[in-house]
């Protein structure tokens, strides 16, 4: 029994809520610690010596900001905070699943679907915010005639709707399937062979944890970038 399952039995609150709260607390604590270091004398200029949390986070943020600028264009700063939050929450949750006695919230469909819905609602919101309600025109297909009547709307609208729903489905299922499989494999090897072999799979698990957070964030940036393009 892991810590979050024990808390579920003790409080009646689902383990995935406890796991998500723990991941959120770690994310907030990391932000506070890094902010404290940056506020110190020359903290924003001189990097910490050696391998530190601040250096790792700065490296990840720099990587994400570069990707955000490439995929979301000149407006990337406005929407980067949601991408950063999404990436680091998923990464922390993924890594928690590799620690014996803990469980990552991303092993639950509730979490992966929640983030997929947030991502998809976000890029629809961005499209409407930047282009007004004319943004929905891209669901209606090409327009014809003097009054720009979308004659093919009955055909295009269902296709576009299914396409956008598929984005949400693939985001949720890809993350859930990969992390559930990864955490299950590590757990099985820990039971069968307590040392050496599980360490190899845990090393691969760290790579998978980072890769899945990266893919989720990258796809979300691409979708927001598409929404930012001029409405058609």
For residue 147, the model assigns a pLDDT of 56
For residue 139, the model assigns a pLDDT of 74
Asked if 171 and 119 count as a contact pair (C-beta separation under 8 A), the reply is yes
22 φψ region: left (φ > 0), alpha (ψ -120 to 50), beta (else): alpha
Instruction: Enumerate the H helices of 97-152 as residue ranges.
Output: 109-131
Cα separation, 72 vs 20, in Å, equals 28
Q: What sign does the CA torsion over 68, 215, 21, 32 have?
A: negative
DSSP 8-state assignment for residue 150: -
Number of Cβ atoms within 10 Å of the Cβ of 152:
14
Q: What sign does the CA torsion over 146, 152, 158, 163 have?
A: negative
Asked if 8 and 14 count as a contact pair (C-beta separation under 8 A), the reply is yes
Cα separation, 2 vs 90, in Å, equals 19
Query: Which two structure tokens, joined as six digits, stand for 20?
Result: 């998500």
3-state secondary structure at position 31: helix
Number of Cβ atoms within 10 Å of the Cβ of 22:
20
Asked if 168 and 116 count as a contact pair (C-beta separation under 8 A), the reply is yes
CA neighbor of 20 nearest in space, from 101, 99, 114: 114
For residue 45, the model assigns a pLDDT of 64
Angle between helices 53-72 and 15-39 (to 10 degrees): 100
Task: Tell me the pLDDT of the chain (232 aa) as tens digits.
Answer: 688 888 899 999 999 999 999 999 999 988 887 777 766 666 666 666 776 777 788 888 889 999 999 999 888 889 999 999 999 999 999 998 888 788 889 989 999 999 999 999 998 899 888 888 777 777 776 666 555 566 677 777 788 888 888 989 999 999 988 888 877 777 676 667 666 666 676 778 888 889 999 999 999 999 999 888 865 4
DSSP 8-state assignment for residue 195: S
For residue 112, the model assigns a pLDDT of 93
Residue with tokens 């994310």: 27
């Amino acid at each position: 029994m892991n810590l979050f399952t024990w808390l579920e039995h003790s409080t009646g609150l689902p383990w995935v809520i406890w796991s998500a709260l723990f991941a959120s607390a770690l994310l907030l604590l990391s932000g506070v610690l890094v902010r404290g270091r940056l506020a110190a004398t020359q903290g924003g200029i001189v990097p910490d010596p050696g391998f530190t949390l601040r250096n790792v986070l700065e490296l990840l943020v720099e990587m994400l900001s570069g990707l955000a600028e490439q995929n979301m264009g000149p407006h990337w700063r406005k929407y980067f905070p949601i991408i950063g939050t999404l990436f680091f929450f998923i990464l922390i949750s993924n890594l928690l699943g590799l620690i014996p006695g803990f469980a990552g919230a991303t092993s639950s469909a509730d979490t992966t679907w929640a983030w997929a819905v947030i991502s998809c609602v976000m890029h629809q919101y961005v499209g409407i915010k930047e282009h007004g309600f004319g943004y929905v025109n891209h669901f209606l297909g090409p327009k014809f005639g003097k009054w720009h009547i979308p004659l093919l709307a009955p055909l295009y609208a269902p296709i576009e709707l299914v396409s956008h729903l598929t984005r949400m489905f693939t985001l949720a299922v890809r993350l859930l399937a990969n992390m559930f499989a990864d955490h299950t494999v590590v757990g099985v090897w820990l039971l069968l062979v307590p040392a050496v072999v599980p360490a190899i799979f845990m090393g691969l698990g760290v790579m998978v944890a980072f890769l899945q957070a990266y893919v989720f964030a990258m796809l979300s940036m691409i979708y927001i970038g598409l929404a930012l393009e001029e409405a058609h």
